[in-house]
Amino acid sequence: MHIARVDLSYFFRTKWLLATLIGLNITDMLVVGVVYKGMMGSFNYFTFFAPGVIVTGLFFASFDVGRRVHLGLTEGVSQYYLTLPVSLNGLVLAHLLSAGIGGVIYAGILAAIAAAFLPSLASFGTLILIPYMFVLSMGLAGIAAVLNLFSNAGERYWVFTEGVQTTMVALSTVAYPITVVQSYFPSWFVSLIELNPLSQGAEALRSVVSGSASSDASFNLLALFATSLALMTIGVVSYRRVFTKLREVGKI
C-alpha cells in the first residue's frame, strides 16, 4: 500500500499537466458534443459523447502507470523497489492499484464537471459503477504492462502507447453509436468493438444518463467486469515477467 501511495503521488505531482488534460477533455466534451448536437437534429450527441469522454479520460489516466513504470525501469526506481522486503506480487499489485485509483479519480473529476450539464450523472447509478470503473482502470493498466514487456527500456514504449491508445479509442463506441459501426464493418468485427472495454465503460455510463437498464446492445455489466479482469490478469503476468527479468539481469 505504501508503494501504491507513492506511485499514485507521482500521478498528482504534475498538477498543471493534469489541469491541462482535464481542460482538453472538457473542451472536447463541450465543443464537439454541442456542435455535433446542433448538426444532428433530434439525436442528442452531447448526451452520447460526454460518457465517452469520461471513459477515455479514465483510459489515459490508467495508462499513466505504464509511463511511471517505464521511467522507473530507466531511472533505477524499479530496481530500488526490488531491494525492499516486498514480494513480486506485492509490487505488481501496487502499480495496478495506483492505476485503478488514479483512473477513477480522474474520471470522477470529469464526471463531476459533466454532471453540471447532465444532472442524471449525479445519481446512485453512477456510484454503483465506481467499483466496475476501478476494475476497468486496473485492466486497462494491464495493457500498459504488456507494452512495458515488449518495449524493454527503449523509446519504443511511447510509440507503442500512442498506437494502442489511438486504435482502442477509434475502434470503440466512444464517438460512434454501435448502429453506425454496424453499417461499415462485418458482424464479427462489430462484436470485437462491442467487447472493447472502452465501449463497455461508455455504454455503462450512458445507461445511467438515459436512466435505462441498457442504452445499447454493446452494454453488458458482466462483460465489462470479465474483460477488465482478463486484461488485469494479463497485466499481472506481464509485470511479473518484467520485474523477474529485472531482478535476474539487472536491466530490461
**Which pLDDT band holds residue 55 (cuts at 50, 70, 90)?**
very high
In DSSP notation, the chain reads -HHHHHHHHHHHH-HHHHHHHHHHHHHIIIIIHHHHHHHSTTS-HHHHHHHHHHHHHHHHHHHHHHHHHHHHHHHTHHHHHTTSS--HHHHHHHHHHHHHHHHHHHHHHHHHHHTTT-GGGSSHHHHHHHHHHHHHHHHHHHHHHHHHHHHTTSTHHHHHHHHHHHHHHHTSSSSS-HHHHHTTS-HHHHHHHHHSHHHHHHHHHHHHHHTSS-SSTT--HHHHHHHHHHHHHHHHHHHHHHHHHHHHHS--
> Of 98-107, 160-169, 242-251, where does mean pLDDT reach its minimum?
242-251
Domain of 169 in residue numbering reads as 2-249
**Which pLDDT band holds residue 53 (cuts at 50, 70, 90)?**
very high
Tell me which of 202 and 211 has the higher pLDDT.
Answer: 202
Q: Note if the pTM is more than 0.75.
A: yes
The rounded percent of the chain whose pLDDT value lies above 70 is: 92
Task: Please report the pLDDT score of residue 223 as a whole number.
Answer: 80
Count of domains observed in the chain = 1
Mean pLDDT of the region 9-24: 80
Whether the pLDDT of residue 54 is over 90: the answer is: yes
Whether the pLDDT of residue 226 is over 50: the answer is: yes
Task: Please report the pLDDT score of residue 214 as a whole number.
Answer: 45
